[in-house]
Amino acid sequence: MTTHIGAEKGEIAEKILLPGDPLRAKYIAENFLDDPVCYNEVRGMYGYTGTYKGERISVQGTGMGVPSISIYVNELIEGYGVKQLIRVGSCGALQNDVKVRDVILASTSTTDSQMNRMVFGGIDFAPAADFNLLKNAYEAGTEKGLKLRVGNVFTSDSFYRDNAMDLFKQLADYNVLAVEMETTALYTLAAKHGCQALSVLTVSDHILTGEETTSEERQTTFNEMIEVALEAAIQE
């Protein structure tokens, strides 16, 4: 057991999906994994292990934001030997040609979080997705007929930010596709520990137009994102 995860050693697979919402972890386990077993309920942050197409896969809620996902990623890697981590999250679109329900693969991330500047003594580390995972996810999505977007996402410490529009427009001018709250931490910690990481994100709302998905639409698109992530996970 680690501080925030109640699993015994060996109960968590080397490959794991990481939704922010613990109920999304439960949904993924119950609808996509065979024989799922719940290994964690500490803080209601559900974690399950099952199989997908015969391969052992876990899914663990991370909570929202850099501090929360950092706790789970650290404990999963250092405490349980997890090697491959795929975030399955939601995000807000920053580009006119990125639409609600689109699925984005984050090749890198920009951030307002101080985490990396603290760690690297003020320099800007460039967090990057694992290329093989990114390639596998892109191919899996393309085979399913999805038009995946690949690019830079903004990992923000703030969901409710005063006067956010100027910053969002500037980021859009610099080709940042969307905003979310965890990818920078995931990629940086994975790099530190020699693990593979990728964020697969569904656009749940549009920052520029205010458009939002209905809960039913979110469900359908989340399913596509989850399938892309699972198919990427089981490739070599």
Ligand X SMILES: O=P(O)(O)O[C@H]1O[C@H](CO)[C@@H](O)[C@H]1O
Ligand Y SMILES: O=c1cc[nH]c(=O)[nH]1
**What is the binding site for ligand X (CB under 6 A)?**
19-21, 64, 89-90, 159, 180-182
Q: Distances in Å between the alpha carbon of 187 and those of 96, 151, 214, 231, 236?
A: 26, 14, 30, 20, 20
Is 20 within any annotated ligand binding site? yes
- The answer to whether residue 166 is catalytic is no
**In the complex, what is the shortest distance from the CB of residue 62 to ligand X, in angstroms, rounded to a whole number?**
7
**With CB cut-offs between 5 and 8 Å by kind, which of ligand Y, ligand X, none does residue 205 bind?**
ligand Y
Catalytic residue among 35, 97, 162, 205: 205
Residue 180 interacts with ligand Y (CB under 6 A): yes or no: yes
Is 113 within any annotated ligand binding site? no
Q: What is the DSSP annotation of the chain?
A: --SS--PPTTSS-SEEEE-SSHHHHHHHHHHHSEEEEEEE-GGG--EEEEEETTEEEEEE---SSHHHHHHHHHHHHHHH---EEEEEEEEEE-STTS-TT-EEEEEEEEE--SHHHHHTTT-----B--HHHHHHHHHHHHHTT---EEEEEEE-S-SS-TT-HHHHHHHHHTTEEEEESSHHHHHHHHHHTT-EEEEEEEEEEETTT--B--HHHHHHHHHHHHHHHHHHHH--
Is 101 within any annotated ligand binding site? no
Judged by beta carbon, residue 102 or residue 231, the one nearer ligand Y is 102
**In the complex, what is the shortest distance from the CB of residue 211 to ligand X, in angstroms, rounded to a whole number?**
16
Judged by beta carbon, residue 57 or residue 171, the one nearer ligand Y is 171
Contacts with ligand Y in 18-57 (CB under 6 A)?
none
Distance between CA 72 and CA 186 in Å, rounded?
Answer: 10
**In the complex, what is the shortest distance from the CB of residue 8 to ligand X, in angstroms, rounded to a whole number?**
26
**With CB cut-offs between 5 and 8 Å by kind, which of ligand X, ligand Y, none does residue 224 bind?**
none
Judged by beta carbon, residue 8 or residue 160, the one nearer ligand Y is 160
Is 4 within any annotated ligand binding site? yes
Contacts with ligand Y in 56-115 (CB under 6 A)?
90-92
Is 88 within any annotated ligand binding site? yes
**Residues at the site binding ligand Y, with contacts judged by CB under 6 A:** 90-92, 159, 179-181, 204-205, 207
Provide the annotated active-site residues. 205
Q: Which residues are annotated as a binding site for a purine D-ribonucleoside?
A: 4, 180-182, 204-205
